[in-house]
Amino acid sequence: MLTALYVPANRPDRFAKAVAAGPDVVVFDLEDAVPVDDKADARGWAVAWIAARASAAFEIRVNAPGTPWIEDDLAALAAVPDVRVRLPKVESAADVRAVLDQVPSARITALIESPLGLERAFEIASADPRVVAVALGEADLSGALGVDGPEGLAWARGRLVSASRAAGLGAPMMSVYPYVNDEEGLRRTSLEGRKLGFVGRTAIHPRQLTPIVESFTPTATQLADAANLLAAVEKAGVAEGGVIVLPDGRMVDPAMLARARELTTLMQHIESRQS
């Protein structure tokens, strides 16, 4: 998955437009984007939309644990099979399990937005097999850490990538880039995240989707190297496991093969989106 697009759940007039923009998943936001007085209506609109389109890729960001609205959010989602829940401000595995106790069929994306949550990133990522992803909430985290700019978040981003990989969840997606009209900045920061091990990014406007996909598309050199490596291993007919010595003298270890396959799979996903 390369792209996720937020849509305010109190704006049902935007739901179809968000889907038509073509992200891998549409995230209906009940939290920050929705004023208090609109919470109930937004919940009803979003849940009804998702329930009527069970085969599509939707996720719903509920309100944070401990808020007055979380219980009603979860009660409404309990009737939606296999619903994807984006849970904000997660600080422990217990936060995740509390949601799963009420919505057992949920698939959880856990948002880590505090120093305590960051310290427990692996615990959260491995809390339950129904946790399918972890991500940073960088605005809240930056404020809590007292840092400015990407330099201050570099360690946190690396920590999240490591926790996600260690828990078997693969590469995480980057947090949103809040400056909708700054495509150059979106591309620059996406490439920075790519170097740290992220794959894909969450967007807040449809115009951000194409730059995100392009920023995370493997280079021609990467793809050629991956294809050549996989072809050489197949041609050699050598058994995998440990270090493989190819007929041309190259030594290949399992990590190199895994990376080559990962890049190839990512490109196949990108090509399938384009078709």
Q: Are 158 and 196 in contact (CB under 8 A)?
A: yes
Q: Is the dihedral of CA 15, 17, 23, 29 positive or negative?
A: negative
- The two structure tokens encoding residue 134: 């972890």
Computed over every residue of the chain, the mean pLDDT equals 91
Q: Are 173 and 161 in contact (CB under 8 A)?
A: no
**Mean pLDDT, rounded, for 141-158:** 92
Residue 257: pLDDT band with limits 50, 70, 90: confident
Indicate whether 154 pLDDT > 60. yes
21 vs 173: CA distance, rounded Å: 19
46 vs 68: CA distance, rounded Å: 18
What digits encode the pLDDT tens for the residues 77-133? 998 999 999 999 999 999 999 999 999 999 999 999 999 999 999 999 999 999 999
What CATH number labels 3-215?
A: 3.20.20.60
Q: What percent of the chain has pLDDT over 90?
A: 74
**Mean pLDDT, rounded, for 194-209:** 96
Kindly report, as residue ranges, where domains of CATH 3.20.20.60 are found in the chain.
Answer: 3-215
Residue 109's pLDDT is what? 98
What digits encode the pLDDT tens for the residues 219-244? 898 888 888 878 877 766 655 555 67
Question: Cα separations (Å) of 273 from 77, 171, 213?
Answer: 29, 19, 10
Residue 260's pLDDT is what? 86
Residue 258's pLDDT is what? 81
Indicate whether 20 pLDDT > 90. yes
**Mean pLDDT, rounded, for 65-83:** 95
Residue 231's pLDDT is what? 80
Q: Which amino acid is at 149?
A: G
Residue 245: pLDDT band with limits 50, 70, 90: low
